[in-house]
Amino acid sequence: MRKIALATMAVAAATTLILSGCSNSARTDAGSGDAAAGFDQGSIVGVALPAKTSENWVLAGDLFNEDLTSAGFKPDVQYAAASGTVANQQEQIQSMVTKGAKVIVIGAADGGQLGTQVKAAHDAGAIVIAYDRLILNTEDVDYYVAYDNFKVGELQGQALLDGMKAKKADGPYNIELFSGSSDDANSAVFFNGAMSVLQPAIDDGTVVVGSGQTDIKQTATDGWKAENAQRRMDSLLTSTYTDKELDGVLSPNDTLARAIITSVKQAGKDIPVVTGQDSEVESVKSIMAGEQYSTINKDTRNLVKQAVAMVTSVSEGDTPETNDDESYDNGSKVVPAYLLPPQIVTKDNAAEAYANDPTLGPLTK
């Protein structure tokens, strides 16, 4: 069994994430509320999402409105404001409880600060589904639906190594590490997945972190903001790479990847191998242009469909399908999860990866 350390706590996770042979797991505490016994179509389903910091969050909101309506529910989709995000989301969740939402799907702005709100939801009889980001340190979360985020990190780490080797057959390779916002529980999962691949190469000297900044507190990017990543990259280039080559940068998502590339370009240096995640339009264009090396395909359409399938199961009085009932210990309980498999995308396989995507597919022709 592997252990996934989240930013604010130690979280146990299994080495093998079983993505087939799905099983229906018994709920340990979800049966006491009204929604657990089923509810009528037309009922309110709350969806609380964080700020619109990426294309995928914007798309998720649109899809939840469409798919929940098509399934016969009344969606209440709300985004936390860009400023005062956590307090805003806390108020929105409480509002959903007051309105009588039978299920509340939460993409947490800060997974460690929603305990009071999800308890209120449970006390009112609602089922709570954590979407994309795990909600921490509470027993009042029933299910988790996400892509396999540790695997995302592993794919990013391997892509970084593969990309550098393709450009230069032999090391040592100079790299820098970036991670996401410290208030997002996924940031540490991505980072730990990547480091599980990169650490052996660092230990044997094949890979060198030029700045020496390998602790997640040093690599974090506050708020997932592009300007913060660009500012840090500017500083690293000035302090560490005035007289040596930077071969690669571990970037946890596409927004930060583009900021890192902008910094390198402005410094007049060759673009290193840069990873990403989310398949954002501008990054797919960058990959096809030979700048950003890779991204991760985590189709938001499929993730929302799985979340809506969970809601539908609950409405029928059934236990939603899960495929991982061991890995995601949030500090208070192991949360039954449905994990979708992520896909690494480079220029070589982009056309195949996005063949059925009406937006991204044409960019790869």
Give the relative orientation of helices 254-266 and 226-240 as an angle to the nearest 10 degrees: 40
Residues 97 and 169 in one domain: no
Residues 190 and 250 in one domain: yes
Residues 95 and 164 in one domain: no
**Which residues fall within 8 angstroms of residue 35, CB to CB, at 6 or more apart?**
102, 103, 125, 126, 127, 314, 315
Helix, strand, coil shares, percent, the chain, to 5: 40, 20, 40
pLDDT in tens, the chain (365 residues): 333 333 333 333 333 333 333 333 333 343 334 676 799 989 999 999 998 878 889 999 999 999 999 999 999 999 998 766 899 999 999 999 999 999 999 999 999 999 999 999 999 999 999 999 999 999 999 999 999 999 999 999 999 999 999 999 999 999 999 999 998 889 999 999 999 999 999 999 999 999 999 999 999 999 899 999 999 999 999 999 999 999 999 999 999 999 999 999 999 999 999 999 999 999 999 999 999 999 999 999 999 999 999 999 999 999 999 999 998 999 999 999 999 999 999 999 999 999 999 999 999 99
Residue among 265, 268, 287, 266 at smallest CA distance from 276: 287
Q: Is the omega angle on the peptide bond into residue 200 within 30 degrees of 0, that is, cis?
A: no
Residues 354 and 319 in one domain: no
How many structural domains is the chain composed of? 2
Rounded Cα distance, 204 and 129, in Å: 42
Rounded Cα distance, 343 and 154, in Å: 11
pLDDT digits (tens, 9 = 90+) for 264-311: 999 999 999 999 999 999 999 999 999 999 999 999 999 999 999 999
Residues 15 and 135 in one domain: yes
Q: Where are the alpha helices (DSSP H) in the chain?
A: 55-70, 85-99, 115-123, 149-167, 185-203, 216-219, 226-240, 254-266, 281-288, 300-315, 350-353
Residues 165 and 272 in one domain: yes
**Structure-block tokens of residue 242:** 């005035």
Rounded Cα distance, 362 and 165, in Å: 29
Q: How many CA atoms lie within 13 A of 269 on its CB side?
A: 23
Residues 199 and 308 in one domain: no
pTM above 0.85, yes or no: no
Residues 30 and 135 in one domain: yes
Rounded Cα distance, 157 and 149, in Å: 13
Q: Which domain holds residue 135?
A: 3-141+299-341
Residues 216 and 106 in one domain: no
Residue among 156, 203, 64, 194 at smallest CA distance from 343: 156
* CATH assignment of the domain containing 228: 3.40.50.2300
Residues 185 and 130 in one domain: no
Residues 153 and 292 in one domain: yes
